[in-house]
Amino acid sequence: MTREEKARLNSFVAKNVNMLLEEKGMTQRELAEKVGKSEAEVSRWLTGRNGFSKTAIARLSVALGHDITTRPVGLGTGGNTDNIVKHGNRKVALITGVTGQDGSYLSEFLLEKGYEVHGIIRRSSVDFRERIAHLEGRPNFHLHYADMSDSMSIVKVIDTVRPDEVYNLAAQSHVQVSFDSPEFTADVDAVGVLRVLEAVRACHLEQTCRIYQASTSELYGKVEQVPQNENTPFHPYSPYAVAKLYGFWIVKEYREAYNMFCCSGILFNHESERRGETFVTRKITLAAARIAQGHQDCLWLGNLSSLRDWGYAKDYVECMWLILQQDKPEDFVIATGVQHSVREFCYEAFKCAGITLEFSGEGLEEKGICVAGPKNLVGKTLVAVSEDFYRPTDVVNLWGDPTKAKAKLKWNPNKTSFEQLVELMVKHDMAKVAGEGAAMKVRTNLAEYLEKGIVR
Ligand code: NAP
Ligand code: GDD
């Protein structure tokens, strides 16, 4: 047996022992007493760091009433797992980026499925965990401090949690910001992926732990084909996309080199009422709500002609899970197959807020003027263009082809339509702004935006 094979076997057996202990409600001390070993030695076995001699396997199997070299019935490591909770055991998932838009929805989804969910959080001077606040304190939801730029912290968490599935969602995810912080973006979005893969190997979990990598339609960048599918050539067009391309290829490499079950979901833009406020959709829905309620005068944007395939984030996290439940590790494009421009998104969002816009002019001179709605707004310019929101290189034609996801994952890409998505975001933001109503008028003109430095 090679060293690699031995390590895999140790990890597999250790996991079985852990599952059996949990199932029987037996402590490590009780097990140590039963097999006549010290608690420290048993603990080393349970982490998979110590090899199991034939005698140890025999003694442990007797003590636990099960051959520990075979997986306890019903505790598969994948397959079709509609009912995850079996024999009192739960699947264990680790989510990096748990505080983000997708991390919060995925946590809810997995908890609902009966998983034990662990998330990685970063320390910050302000405690800003708004998206997952409602989950904290739940018995199967746990948070750990770690950072994607710190290998040791990732190894420590993976060794402690010993996950069945890792969802690597953590990233510096803003394309414009990647031009301002390219090195940090590369460290987190590229090398960070490698750190997760290596941590799984270092903990000898590579044969049992499945890994999902949050890849992106930005890989298609300066697009060479529309719509884009799994076979479309990549042409990354920002520091963010270049970093994510490394993540994509390193996942593929580990899948082939080490036979690991790791996959990339090439997700097109997905939005929600939890979307970060500097991404274009949320910037628009918040502005539409503020303008409708008299708290903002005008919305300044960049390229209005940019085209995106926008879906609902809540629908997309299901795909992340489905991708890891397949028999074979594969990459998937996840998209709606429907494309709209930033201008169309604006029109629709303002309509939901009771304002009809008409666009005229071109490039930097283009304006969205109110032609119907509240009297005090009619005739006013509510949307204008500023060079400050243009990118050095912009991706302008993303349109996904979800044929493979529909066929293999049996996923419905059109659960939430574009119109429904915009409506639910605007509704949410209308209520949010109304709730903030007592606050002073938010005079978000361009000068203030730039001063705050958080605009792009
Ligand atoms: P998001 O809201 O920006 O969340 C990013 C998450 O990553 C946050 O939890 C953030 O933590 C965490 N993070 C950032 N740097 C980190 C570091 N150094 N160490 C640990 N955690 C770190 O992004 P999202 O929209 O949920 O997207 C999730 C993933 O999917 C990202 O990888 C993104 O690139 C990718 N993606 C997103 C889309 C989309 O349309 N949403 C499409 C394709 C791919 P803090 O809260 O502490 O900042
Ligand atoms: N953010 C922003 N702000 N974008 C603007 C603005 C503005 O004021 N005006 C026009 N845009 C255009 C951008 O130039 C871009 O073409 C488009 O709107 C979408 O921008 P974002 O909402 O910032 O998203 P993104 O497409 O660059 O990136 C998002 O989707 C990727 C998947 O395709 C992020 O979530 C990435 O993490 C993700 O990988």
Predicted pLDDT at 72: 60
For residue 132, the model assigns a pLDDT of 97
Nearest residue (by CA) to ligand 1, atom 34, is: 173
Q: Coil, strand or helix: which one is 120? A: strand
**101 alpha carbon to ligand 1 midpoint, in Å?**
7
State the ligand closest to the CA atom of 147: 1
The residue contributing the CA closest to ligand 1 atom 43 is 216
Question: What was the pLDDT predicted at 450?
Answer: 46
Q: Which of 400, 174, 413, 398 is nearest to 307 (CA)?
A: 398
Q: Whose CA is nearest to atom 29 of ligand 1?
A: 169
Cα–Cα distance between 292 and 1 in angstroms, integer? 70
Predicted local confidence at residue 87, as pLDDT: 34
**Mean pLDDT, the chain cut into blocks of 10 residues (456 residues total):** 70 81 86 88 79 84 83 41 47 98 98 97 89 95 97 97 98 98 98 98 97 98 97 98 99 98 98 98 98 97 98 98 98 98 98 98 98 98 97 97 98 97 98 79 49 46
Torsion of CA 239, 245, 247, 248, to 10 degrees: 160
Closest CA to 223 of 85, 362, 365, 395: 395
Question: Relative to the alpha carbon of 157, which ligand is closest?
Answer: 1
Kindly list the catalytic residues: 216, 218, 240
pLDDT at 16: 80
What's the pLDDT score for residue 47? 78
Tell me, what's the pLDDT at 71? 62
- pLDDT computed for residue 443 by the predictor: 44
Distance CA 212, CA 170 (A): 11
Question: Which atom of ligand 1 has the smallest separation from the CA of 104?
Answer: 26
Q: What is the pTM of this model?
A: 0.84
Give the DSSP letter of residue 397.
Answer: B
* Ligand 2-lining residues (CB < 6 angstroms): 173, 175-176, 216-218, 268-269, 278-281, 283, 301-303, 306, 308, 342, 389, 391, 394-395, 398, 456
Nearest residue (by CA) to ligand 2, atom 3, is 280
Q: Which tokens hold the place of 419?
A: 């119109």
State the pLDDT at residue 205.
97
What pLDDT sits at residue 295? 96
